[in-house]
Amino acid sequence: MESFEELLEVSTRIHGHICAGQVIGVRMAMAGLERIGIAEPKGRDRKKLYVLVEIDRCATDAIQSVTGCSLGKRSMRWLDFGIMAATFVNLETKQAVRITALEESRERSKHYCPEIENKYQQQLAAYRVMPLEELFSFQEVTVQLADCDMPGRPLRRVRCEQCGDWVQDCREVSDQGRTICRACAGARYYQPIEQQEG
Ligand SMILES: [Zn+2]
Ligand SMILES: [Zn+2]
C-alpha cells in the first residue's frame, strides 16, 4: 500500500480540501486494513474488502479513497448513526474491526503541537503524529452481512404495486398482502407537486 502522505494527498484531492477528517480517515482506514489483513485494497484484495461507515462527514471520503470501497460498488454501506466510526471487514476470513475516533484526541492534540495557536491547525498537525491508540479505540467484532447487501447483480427486482417503481435488492416491503416500495410504505422523503390545471 502507498504511504500515509501519498494516501492523504489523494484523499485531499478527491475530497476537495485538507482537513482533520482527511487525516483521521486516512489513518483509520490504514489501521483498519492492517488489522484485517488487507494489503492491497485496490489490487488483489479488492473483492475481499467491505466497509461500513457510521457517519457522512469528511472522514468518510478519506476512507473511500484509501479502501477503494464505495456506495456505487456496494462495498461500502453508510449507517446513519452520526458516530465517527467505521468497521472494516475481510469477507474471506470474516475478520472485522470497528474503529472509533476518540473524542479525547481533540484535547490531547494540545500536547503534540503546543506551538500552534490555532486550535484547528493544531488538531490537523497533531492527528498526523499521534499514536493510533490515542486517536482511536479498536473493537474486534463480527458482522452479519445479508446476501442482498453484497456487491454483484441484484438478487431481486420487483415492482411496487402502488406507484409502479421498480425496487431492487430486497428493499420492498409487504403491506397487507401487497408488495410496495419503502416510499409508499410511509418513508417518502419528497412530496410530488400537483400539476394544477389552468
Ligand atoms: Zn473535509
Ligand atoms: Zn411505491
pLDDT at 198: 61
More confident residue, 1 or 139: 139
Total structural domains within the chain: 2
- 130 plus 157 within the same structural domain: no
Report the separation in Å between the CA atom of 160 and the middle of ligand 2, taken as the mean of its atom positions.
5
Q: Is the pLDDT score of 137 beyond 90?
A: yes
Report the separation in Å between the CA atom of 166 and the middle of ligand 2, taken as the mean of its atom positions.
8
More confident residue, 5 or 198: 5
pTM: 0.93
Q: Is the pLDDT score of 51 beyond 80?
A: yes
List the CATH number of the domain containing 74. 3.30.1330.130
- 114 plus 176 within the same structural domain: no
Give CA–CA dist 31/74, Å, rounded: 22
Report the separation in Å between the CA atom of 175 and the middle of ligand 1, taken as the mean of its atom positions.
42
- 56 plus 12 within the same structural domain: yes
Give CA–CA dist 194/184, Å, rounded: 17
- Give the contacts of 194 (CB within 8 A, at least 6 positions apart): none
- 8 plus 54 within the same structural domain: yes
- 135 plus 175 within the same structural domain: no
- 119 plus 163 within the same structural domain: no
pLDDT at 196: 72
> Measured in Å, how far apart are the chain's first and last C-alpha atoms?
63
Grid cell listed for 47:
473483492
Report the separation in Å between the CA atom of 189 and the middle of ligand 2, taken as the mean of its atom positions.
12
- 32 plus 74 within the same structural domain: yes
pLDDT at 49: 97
- 114 plus 157 within the same structural domain: no
* Domain final position from 104, 127, 147: 147
Q: Which domain holds residue 186?
A: 153-198
- 177 plus 79 within the same structural domain: no
pLDDT digits 0-9 by tens, 55-90? 999 999 999 999 999 999 999 999 999 999 999 999
